[in-house]
Amino acid sequence: MELQEPKAPLQNSAPNGEKGKPSTKKGRDEELDELKKEMKMDEHIIPMEQLVARFDTSLEKGLTDAHAAKVIARDGPNALTPPKKVPEWVKFCKNLFGGFAMLLWIGAFLCFIAYAVDTFSMEYPSKDNLYLGIVLAAVVIITGCFQYYQESKSSKIMESFKNMVPTFALVLRNGEKRQIRTEDVAVGDIVEVKGGDRVPADIRIISAHGFKVDNSSLTGESEPQSRNHECTNENPLETKNLAFFSTNAVEGSAIGVVVCTGDRTVMGRIAHLASGLDTGETPIAREIAHFIHIITGVAVFLGVSFFVIAFVLGYHWLSAVVFLIGIIVANVPEGLIATVTVCLTLTAKRMASKNCLVKNLEAVETLGSTSTICSDKTGTLTQNRMTVAHMWFDGVTTDCDTSENQASRNENRDSQAYNALIRVAALCNRAEFKSGQGDVPVLKRLCTGDASESALLKCVELSRGDVMGFRAKYPKICEIPFNSTNKYQVSIHEVSDDGEFYHLLVMKGAPERILDRCSTIVTKGEVVSLTQPRRDEFNAAYLDLGGMGERVLGFCDCKLDQQKFPKGYAFDSEDPNFPLDKLRFVGLISMIDPPRAAVPDAVSKCRSAGIKVIMVTGDHPITAKAIAKSVGIMSEETETVEDIALRKGIDVSEVDPSEARAAVIHGSDLREMTEEQLQSILDSHDEIRQGQIVAVTGDGVNDSPALKRADIGIAMGIAGSDVSKQAADMILLDDNFASIVTGVEEGRLIFDNLKKSIAYTLTSNIPEISPFLSFILFDIPLPLGTVTILCIDLGTDLWPAISLAYEEAESDIMKRRPRDSKHDKLVNERLISVAYGQIGMIQASSGFFAYVYIMAENGFLPWDLLGVRSRWDSRAVNDLQDSYGQQWTYANRKVLEYTCHTAFFSSIVIVQWADLIICKTRRNSLVQQGMSNWTLNFGLVFETTLAAFMAYCPGLDNGLRMFSWWFPALPFSLLIFVYDEARRFLIRKYPGGWVERETYY
């Protein structure tokens, strides 16, 4: 299955939190009503026996593998047909003719028109316009092809990512439960769905326990809808015994038989009504668009100004248009979009190799701007490998032996409290061992269910043996699933002991919640009142276990009155018609979930990078604090409000919050936190209050609202529910917090590298524009032609600019404060100052030095060039005298001018060597950064080779008028290198000083 639905839902808000294109409610309702009238199916109406016979399946054993294969061969895979994609030829044409490329096509067309006019009006027409038109057309075609290639490559990579997080369904095949890919589900399969899953197909409910689904993506109903086995309406969209493909199970569990798959599902049938998704602009996309708009505006303004000036000075209007095109091309970084695409795609691939999967490319940079990470504890900061460590019953805490031979077990197995505790742990538990593991040691067996219930299951299996057989003796007839509001789980079982029949209610959950619902406690074989001294014993044990960083659960039970709850009583889990208080407390079980080895170092990196880490957990504050200290979120000497109150012997309300260096807030997830809990986080973390970038991790269905609201939502690839993965922007394939920190580093790196690429690209604008300025202001022969500008911007500069995307991170990348997205822009005034006002000026000086040197060597001293332009460009003047009285014909003057063009061009290429090398690092010395970026090293060779090819290739000397002249710019290239090394040395030596404030971009 794809990470996102190929079709949008029938509502304005897409299920993954993105905004859909608005459609009128009236029109949508009319279409849906029409569909309801046309939809004909009876699978929800006919008796279950008839349905089973129709699909040739079995409620007890499900389909056989052979029969399932036949059904899939007949119906096809269980997936929606993908929406029609934009044809490749349309994408290619957009790259070839869209946006700025169209301006270049117009320029090429005008050049051909100018050449045609010259051909018909002159006896010996110049071919300059013809060659310029050819170059412009070639440039547009080459860059269009390159951008199309990069776009296609990026699309294929992102498409491959979607298959890296497949969805699975739990089905009954050949009498065994097994997990299969959703695409392999067949009509007639018996499937089990629980809260957090996506419904794998259209299913008819066989049995359900508190099962609710979110149909908002299908019908627009905002409230979760309950589902059970009863047919309540002939209309399939309104009956309660159907659950539909791709809707989300919110809570509870259900078993159902698949009635439709793929395009034959209700979602498949209405897919043509769905509107397309509008993903909206991400921060980096807005930054780049803003930058391009500014640069393009400046370019057009300068181009039009030069056009007017050239026209006023007597140039033919077509020649003036050539100047217009040249100025615009000199200003706009045409290769920037390709560079951004390469940067994002490259980073996404790197992150995927490090178990961090992005669902949209721009999310990478957003993660790099993160200032606060709200992380789920279980499975992200810890290993999610729960092991039962201690039990508390009969007023005593005992260690649990989790070895296979139980050699050191010291529990009193004859204790009534112990046996009651084990019974509740076995029955109030939805975890099961996967089939075919009879010979596998208990502790190594794979389970279906969450980590806590799996740990309890293994503990009971080691203690009692044959848990599944034990459960079979006590059939479950009703269940209230755990949710983060109640923080408890309840199930009711039928019991037949020695001929006596009764119903047994068992409950487990947060210890304080369980204790509040109890009035008695079993201790030393007796059931006694839960007095204050016994509550104090409970609290002491709870704090002791929590202080060791262990997760603690409370357990209780209740034998229901046989008269009030006889056999066959209809228990209602949605509106409980049975007691949930005055229960009997039986004990505590604590589990240890060791922190991941890489987490402390990752948290330390976050501290260095100025990122605050908040651990969100439903554990007791004592447990939360112990784990936070073990992973480095809190230090040993860090005090909370509670610690200060205890030290001073005062009430918590009397403590000044500003004294606390940490906040421990008791809440299970972000959505369920109270106003006071959220305010405590806001008071303790200024970044959130100031609206900076917040990343949130989550794995459950209850976390999905927080994942959607966060600047970047991060779901767990292993333990995460399908709903959370759908809501998130990023998925951790290994559920490891350290992978988030890797993502932050990659996000910062991409922003750094884009800055470097832009700095490199913009620097050459000054030596490209200044020749035209001098040409107009000082009336000198043109030092640099339009064709040579094109050769620089779309020839020699393109590969080096892209190669900076491959640059490795600088040593301080995770030691800086998070980027302030409001003030620290991709292109700021310091970058412009360095690129235009410093390095660009040196580059322009190198070009003019070569120009003046060649002119002087050939007889034209600098002061004699002033005001000579009109006679220089006149075909009628063939006796122009230089500074030494030599006469120059028009043809000879043009050869000298083109030689100057080539020298200026070669100078820019040579000084761009130094510019490319200094752009590798913004702070480090080049010695420290090294030259290990072989893509960039090849870029140096590439631009030099291309420049030499243009200068020396036979034929080009006629078209591009290239002549070699290399050496005058070498001292300037060395000057740029030395100047920038000195600048960066001062930044490192005097952090926060004047040089850093004014030049660190």
What order do you get walking across the sheet with 372-376 strand by strand? 356-358, 730-732, 712-716, 694-698, 372-376, 612-616
What is the bridge-based pairing of β-strands 583-592 and 518-523?
parallel
Tokens encoding 327: 């100025």
Q: Are 103 and 329 in contact (CB under 8 A)?
A: no
Measured distance CA(718)–CA(733) in Å, rounded: 6
Q: What is the DSSP string of 390-429?
A: EEEETTEEEE---STT-TT----TT-HHHHHHHHHHHHS-
**Could you tell me which residues are beta bridge partners of residue 507?**
490, 556
Per-residue model confidence (pLDDT) at position 68: 93
- Catalytic residue selected from 128, 376, 699, 729: 376
Measured distance CA(1001)–CA(993) in Å, rounded: 14
Closest alpha carbon to 619 in 665, 676, 685: 665
Torsion angle defined by CA atoms of residues 30, 32, 33 and 39, in that order, rounded to the nearest 10 degrees:
150
Angle 555-557-561 from CA coordinates, rounded to 5°: 170
Tokens encoding 5: 């639905």
Taking the model in full, what pTM does it have? Answer: 0.72
SS3 118: helix
Closest alpha carbon to 379 in 717, 3, 629, 728: 717
Measured distance CA(430)–CA(449) in Å, rounded: 6
Nearest 5°: phi and psi at 204?
A: -100, 130
* Whole-number Cα distances in Å, 837 to 762, 830, 831, 845: 11, 10, 9, 12
Instruction: Strands of 654-749 (E only): list them.
Output: 694-698, 712-716, 730-732
Give pairs for 608-612: CB < 8 Å, separation 24+.
608/814, 608/815, 609/744, 609/748, 609/814, 609/815, 609/816, 609/817, 609/818, 610/371, 610/816, 610/817, 610/818, 611/370, 611/371, 611/372, 611/373, 611/744, 611/818, 612/371, 612/372, 612/373, 612/685, 612/687
In the chain (1001 residues long), the average pLDDT of successive 10-residue segments reads: 30 34 46 56 89 91 92 89 78 79 78 82 75 80 80 70 73 90 92 88 91 75 80 86 87 91 81 42 66 77 82 73 72 70 77 80 78 84 86 91 57 82 94 85 85 91 88 92 84 88 94 94 92 93 90 95 91 90 95 87 90 82 83 76 68 61 49 43 48 78 74 83 78 85 88 90 90 85 84 82 89 86 80 93 96 94 90 88 92 89 92 95 90 92 87 66 77 96 94 90 85
* Whole-number Cα distances in Å, 720 to 384, 599, 701: 12, 19, 9
Measured distance CA(640)–CA(655) in Å, rounded: 10
Alpha helix ranges (H) inside 833-960: 840-857, 862-865, 869-872, 890-918, 926-929, 934-952, 956-959
* Whole-number Cα distances in Å, 825 to 342, 754, 993: 20, 11, 21
Q: Would you say how long the chain is, in residues?
A: 1001
Q: Which residue has the tokens 């006629």?
A: 958
For 281, how many CA atoms within 13 A lie in the half-sphere containing its CB? 8
Measured distance CA(744)–CA(812) in Å, rounded: 13
Q: Going by C-beta distance under 8 Å and a sequence separation of 6 or more, which residues neighbour residue 431?
A: 447, 448, 449, 450, 453, 454, 456, 457
Query: Roughly how many angstroms between the first and final C-alpha of the chain, as a whole number?
Result: 43
Tokens encoding 205: 């409910």
Q: What is the DSSP string of 929-960?
A: H-S--HHHHHHHHHHHHHHHHHHHSTTHHHHT
Nearest 5°: phi and psi at 589?
A: -130, 130
Closest alpha carbon to 779 in 317, 307, 313: 313
Q: Which residue has the tokens 């799996």?
A: 454
Structural domains of the chain sorted by starting position, each given as residue range(s) with its CATH number in brackets: 1-271 (2.70.150.10), 360-382+595-743 (3.40.50.1000), 387-592 (3.40.1110.10), 764-999 (1.20.1110.10)
Q: Going by C-beta distance under 8 Å and a sequence separation of 6 or more, which residues neighbour residue 329?
A: 104, 786, 789, 790, 793, 794
797 flagged as catalytic: no
Q: Are 24 and 97 in contact (CB under 8 A)?
A: no
Tokens encoding 987: 């930044």
Per-residue model confidence (pLDDT) at position 18: 38
Per-residue model confidence (pLDDT) at position 7: 31
Measured distance CA(856)–CA(257) in Å, rounded: 91
Tokens encoding 664: 């421990």
